[in-house]
Amino acid sequence: MAINARIVGIALIALGAALAGAYQLGRGNAAANAAALPDSASTVAAPAPTAASPVPGDAVQPPGHPHDPAGLQREGKVTGADPAQKFTHFRVGNKNVKRIYVDGDTVWVGTSGGAVRYDTLTDDYKLFDIKSGLLSNGVFHVGKMGERVVVGTYGGGMSLLDPKTQTWETFNIPEGLGDAFVYDVLTTKNGDVWVATWSGVNRIRGGALKDRSKWELHTVLSTQGGLPNDWVYGLAEGRNGDVWLATEGGLAHYAEGRWENWNHEKGLGASYEMVKNDIQYKNDPSKVSQHHAKQKQEMGLSNIDVAYNPNYIVSLAVDAQGVVWAGTWGGGLSRFDGKTWKQFTVADGLPGNHVFMLHIDPKGQMWVGTNNGLAKMKDGKFEVLTTKDGLFGNAVFSMATTRDGTLWIGSFGGVARIKPS
């Protein structure tokens, strides 16, 4: 079912071809100057490490990706993609758009090759990468901390950009960070800063980043199992200042010094029997990763050789009613109201059971990015948008909404800009 929206343009903002060793940003008929970059995603493991999955560094064109007879290594405007002129495609090469953040009239796009700042009023853009101060080109998070833009990277820690001096300040393991791989950053209402890493979660009381005494590191060991897994991928604040955490071992909750968690046995994620016929990724990450193999063994899933782990929460959101939404790796979308779990899968109209992204827009509308398209959830039903409707790729990893209601949707290789009719 197509979403009632008018595709008005797709701005492709990311990095250039890995094979050419260049990063370019297409804007209309123009292209940015190329800058030679290493492919950080090819040397650093992504959270879903399988060649069958649309993760950063994949050189394989994902299913549903628009046809490119000249190859994915081309950047810039793609002519003839839509004769009706409902949308425009810009290509950026074999890279993944992992995070989009809107700051007024500015849109930040985090990719596996750097962060791009795009001015929607002037159509100007600027790439930030290792040549401009970041310690890693792989970007998993872009957001705001006070007046500064904060970026979480693959292996380069957490960096903050001063808007006046345009210089970066980086916090890494020596400063107290649990790990150099930073997946999410959250500033809560009380001013605390939480940082999700591959080795637990940091809490910096009052956001005092330069005061080492304010840094805490919470791990499975330090919380006595309250945090179910040290690989923390997402953070969200509840209505009462409590914090929800997405991990590879399930959902965690922190409030007033107390930890609680839920996994598949307690209701998270759909059962394998419910989704086994709809799992598109056949290559199991546990075959190439000891870490993932251990996770599946602990869950009793060693006999399942496809990409399925209902404990692995890839995306997380808390709505205005305080309901928690968790997107899982092959187990569909889970809804938790604090007492009861409910699952949504392909059988319910979800386009895919690998839920990479959850976005609640300013009107409270829930959007679900999956391996097989973007879904708008309304009254328990899903309206689906795919490449047939103008998306650059069906694997949707990121999304943001500007103040005029325009949707920015990130996928493998580009960003779709959609303005509702």
Per DSSP, the residues of 139-172 read EEEEEEETTEEEEEESSS-EEEE-TTT--EEEE-
Q: What is the pLDDT of residue 52?
A: 35
Cα separation of 90 and 416, whole Å?
9
Mean pLDDT throughout 173-201? 97
The pLDDT confidence band at residue 303, using thresholds 50, 70 and 90, is confident
The pair of three-digit structure tokens given for residue 220, joined into one six-digit string: 């499975």
Q: What is the pLDDT of residue 421?
A: 62
Q: Which residues are CB-contacts of 14 (< 8 A; sequence separation ≥ 6)?
A: 25, 92, 93, 95, 96, 97, 109, 111, 112, 113, 116, 413, 414, 415
Domain ranges in the chain are 1-129+388-421
Tell me the pLDDT tens digit for each residue of 232-286: 999 999 999 999 999 999 999 999 999 999 999 999 999 999 999 988 776 677 7
Q: What is the pLDDT of residue 287?
A: 75
Q: What is the pLDDT of residue 92?
A: 54
Statement: residue 51 has pLDDT above 70? no
Mean pLDDT throughout 117-121? 88
Q: What is the pLDDT of residue 93?
A: 58
Angstrom CA distances, 52 to 248, 285, 312, 346, stand at 19, 9, 17, 19
Helix (H, G, I), strand (E, B) or coil at 110: strand
The pair of three-digit structure tokens given for residue 282, joined into one six-digit string: 């056949």
In the block, tokens 């799992």 appear at: 279
Q: What is the pLDDT of residue 317?
A: 98
The pLDDT confidence band at residue 416, using thresholds 50, 70 and 90, is confident
In the block, tokens 């993760």 appear at: 55
Tell me the pLDDT tens digit for each residue of 359-379: 999 999 999 999 999 999 998
Q: What is the pLDDT of residue 123?
A: 80
Mean pLDDT throughout 338-355? 97
The type of residue at 243 is V
The type of residue at 287 is K
Q: How many CB atoms lie within 10 A of CB 340?
A: 8
- pLDDT above 90 covers what percent of the chain? 60
